[in-house]
Every structure is written in C-alpha cells, then in structure tokens.
C-alpha cells in the first residue's frame, strides 16, 4: 500500500492529497507549522491519518527544543498539543493522539527532557504502527460481509490515503478482494472537495477493484436501479450511543440505505470513539470556507456574495447503522451497551 504518511527521522513525509489524482507529490513537513497547514488544507486527511499527523506534529515541535528544564518542556508540549488541536475539530483521532502525547509528559515529570523527547517520538511511532495493525484487523472482520458479485457503495475516502495502511471502509474491500471475492464498488464523488472522486476512485482503480464513480445525487437512483448490497463508510467521531460523524453526505446515504433496505456499516478503530460524549449532538462539526462551494478549482460556480453553508461532516444517527466494524470485531445493536462492553475490555 502507498505510504500516505511516514516519519523519516527528521520530517513527516505526506502525500499532498490536494494534488491527486493528477500528481503524486510527496511533501516533507519539517516544522510543526507546515504540518498544521497541511492538516488544515487537507493535504493530509482522514481521521486515523490525522491522529498520526498530530502525534508527529508534537515530535516536530520539540525537535529543536534546547532547554533542560522538564517543567518548561512539559508546558511547551502542552502548548503544541493545543496548537495542533486547533487545526480541525471533528476527527477525535487527532485529539486522542494528542491526549496520549500530553499524558506521557504530564505523568513523567521526573524524567529528563532528552528522555521525554525520545519517549514522545517512540509514542508517535507506536500510534502509527498500531493504526497499521488495526486496519488489517478491521479488514478481516468486515470482509465476511462482502460476497462475490455484490455491489458495494462508499462515500469520501476511508482508504490507504486516510490511514497508515489500507484503510477502514476500503480496507474491508481490500481484504475481501484478497480473499478472492469479485465485487463492484460505487464511489460517491463527495462534494465539495471530491475525496470520493479524486482519492477513492484513484485508490481503488490503482488497486484493481472494479469501481464506478457517481455524483452524490445519483446514490438513490443507483440503489433502486442497479441494486446495492451493502454500504461501508469510515467515521471521524463515534459517540457512546453509536451516533457517527463522517463526511457530509454520509447521513443522506444512511437515510437512502434505510429506504432501500441496504445494510449500512461504519468501519472505524477504537481511536475514533469518543466515549466522553453521549450522542452525536455533542460532536463538533467543522465548517469550511464558502469558496469550497462557490468555485470549482479556479472557476466560480456561484454568484459573488451568495450565502453559503458548508459543514464538512454530518452525524448519522445510530438507528440507521447496521453495525460498527472495529479491530475487536463487529459491534452490534444495541450500540450503547455493546460499545461499552467491547471497548471497556480493551483499555
Ligand atoms: O475531510 P476529510 O477528508 O478529512 O474527511 C474524511 C472522512 O470523512 C473519512 O470518511 C473519515 O475520516 C474516515 S477515514 C478512515
């Protein structure tokens, strides 16, 4: 699988996803500010990749730290975590990774700065490695839901470009393909930033999965006229009751799936759960700039001065979700109880 994000020892190397599918360009972020900008502008994106980027952002921020006073160093790490946390609000993976990094220094005030620096780098590497392993586990659990000759649907990009390995929702498809199953996929283009068209279509095509691109507003017609057997999506934050925030359009897809009786599965690791919140009402939804909606590349597609609403994510109520595929297995309804049971065992 392609290396979406990687620590080189002195920089965080990412694929500049804003250039795909036209150019495959790698970008070396040597400063935390560069990485912050890359997160903000979606050069690196997708919830698990954002968690990894956040952890390495801390490593970048402390690399040139010269002082030897541990208390001052701890303050610096906390400042860095706050700064990185201000980049994008919805994917909880980013905040979970930062909490892990912050916790390390807060709970080790007796260690030297040199040791803490090494420990932070090792922790970021562990977050990266863990994501690789959990992608594979989710893929194995989910692959059984796909049968040969099935038609699958997905939205946004929850694949290799969103993780350290082969993805969450797309990981399930890669695992099914590896098991010899032949199926086809409809990828929604995912307005306004076209992650489905630019990234998922590119990624699945490159990996020889039979993929057909459709505009978001074609999903209902495809479900009714072509027959869709199952839908898989990723997630940016899952509340304790199973309500799930994912790319804008996911809720619409779940509503359509219910009407057409298509099973709707969310694929996400433990790091995407936010057990501090009861329901989706508490999930912060990122709103992005009006230009993403009023233009296509450099071309204006809406009148000057038009009012725009551009939420980047929406919340799918848990009632519309058939199951949540995690690295521990498929979480079934009732979600509140099963999420608690499955995740509580794993702390
Ligand atoms: O705005 P993006 O591109 O970061 O949104 C990404 C998504 O909504 C993905 O579906 C989600 O992060 C899961 S990625 C495995």
CATH code of the domain in which 48 resides = 1.20.120.420
* Cα–ligand 1 centroid distance for 115 (angstroms): 34
183 shares its domain with 322: yes
* Cα–ligand 1 centroid distance for 196 (angstroms): 10
Quick: pLDDT tens for 323-333: 999 999 999 99
User: So what's the pLDDT on residue 223?
Assistant: 98
User: So what's the pLDDT on residue 269?
Assistant: 98
> Over pLDDT 90: what percentage of the chain?
98
Quick: pLDDT tens for 97-145: 999 999 999 999 999 999 999 999 999 999 999 999 999 999 999 999 9
Residues 169, 303: Cα–Cα separation, whole Å:
37
Quick: pLDDT tens for 152-202: 999 999 999 999 999 999 999 999 999 999 999 999 999 999 999 999 999
pLDDT confidence of 62, banded at 50, 70, 90?
very high
146 shares its domain with 131: no
Q: Which residues have C-beta atoms less than 6 Å from ligand 1?
A: 42, 45-48, 91, 156, 158, 162-163, 167-168, 195, 234-236, 246-247, 312
Among 16, 47, 272, 324, say which to mutate for ligand 1: greatest number of ligand atoms within 8 Å of CB: 47
Of 292, 274, 294, 269, nearest to 284 by C-alpha is: 274
User: So what's the pLDDT on residue 347?
Assistant: 56
Quick: pLDDT tens for 263-312: 999 999 999 999 999 999 999 999 999 999 999 877 999 999 999 999 99
Among 41, 168, 191, 246, say which to mutate for ligand 1: greatest number of ligand atoms within 8 Å of CB: 246
Range of the domain at 94: 5-135
112 shares its domain with 237: no
264 shares its domain with 303: yes
- CA angle at residue 99 from 94 to 103, to 5 degrees? 155
- Kindly list the catalytic residues: 236
227 shares its domain with 283: yes
Quick: pLDDT tens for 189-205: 999 999 999 999 999 99
339 shares its domain with 231: yes
334 shares its domain with 247: yes
End-of-domain residue from the set 85, 112, 135: 135
Q: Looking at the 3D structure of the chain, how many domains does it have?
A: 2
CA distances to 58, 173, 215, 328 from 146, rounded to whole Å, are 39, 8, 23, 18
177 shares its domain with 100: no
131 shares its domain with 184: no
End-of-domain residue from the set 85, 106, 135: 135
> Over pLDDT 70: what percentage of the chain?
100
Judged on CB neighbours under 10 Å (0-12, 13-18, 19+), 92 is buried
φ/ψ region of 227 (left if φ > 0, alpha if ψ in -120 to 50, else beta) reads left
119 shares its domain with 196: no
103 shares its domain with 195: no
Quickly tell me which residue has 């799936």 as its tokens.
257
At 253, which CATH number?
3.40.50.10470
Is residue 255's pLDDT more than 70?
yes
290 shares its domain with 167: yes
User: So what's the pLDDT on residue 344?
Assistant: 80
End-of-domain residue from the set 135, 162, 184: 135
């Amino acid at each position: 699988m392609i290396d979406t994000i990687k620590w080189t020892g002195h920089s965080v190397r990412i694929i500049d996803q804003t250039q795909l599918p036209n150019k495959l360009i790698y970008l070396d972020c040597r400063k935390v500010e560069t990485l912050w900008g890359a997160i903000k502008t979606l050069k690196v994106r997708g919830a698990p990749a954002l968690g990894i980027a956040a952890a390495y952002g801390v490593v970048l921020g402390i690399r040139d730290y010269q002082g030897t006073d541990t208390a001052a160093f701890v303050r610096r790490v906390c400042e860095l975590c706050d700064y990185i946390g201000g980049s994008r609000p919805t994917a909880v993976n980013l905040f979970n990774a930062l909490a892990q990094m912050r916790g390390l220094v807060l709970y080790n005030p007796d260690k030297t700065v040199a040791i803490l620096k090494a420990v932070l780098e090792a922790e970021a590497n562990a977050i990266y490695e863990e994501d690789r392993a959990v992608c594979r586990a989710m893929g194995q659990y989910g692959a059984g839901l796909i049968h040969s000759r099935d038609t699958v649907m997905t939205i946004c990009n929850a694949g290799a470009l969103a993780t350290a390995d082969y993805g969450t929702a797309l990981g399930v498809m890669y695992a099914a393909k590896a098991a010899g199953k032949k199926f086809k996929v409809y990828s929604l283009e995912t307005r306004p930033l076209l992650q489905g068209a630019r990234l998922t279509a590119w990624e699945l095509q490159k990996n020889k999965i039979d993929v057909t691109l459709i505009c978001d507003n074609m999903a209902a017609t495809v479900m009714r006229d072509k027959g869709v057997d199952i839908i898989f999506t990723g997630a940016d934050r899952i509340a304790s009751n199973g309500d799930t925030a994912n790319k804008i359009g996911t809720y619409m897809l779940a509503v359509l799936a219910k009407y057409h009786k298509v099973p709707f599965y969310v694929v996400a690791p433990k790091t995407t759960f936010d057990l501090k919140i009861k329901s989706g009402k508490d999930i912060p939804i990122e709103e992005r700039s009006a230009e993403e909606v009023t233009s296509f590349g450099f071309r204006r597609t809406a009148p000057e001065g038009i009012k725009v609403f551009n939420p980047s994510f929406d919340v799918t109520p848990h009632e519309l979700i058939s199951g949540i595929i995690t690295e521990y297995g498929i979480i079934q309804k009732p979600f509140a109880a099963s999420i608690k049971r499955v995740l509580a065992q794993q702390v």
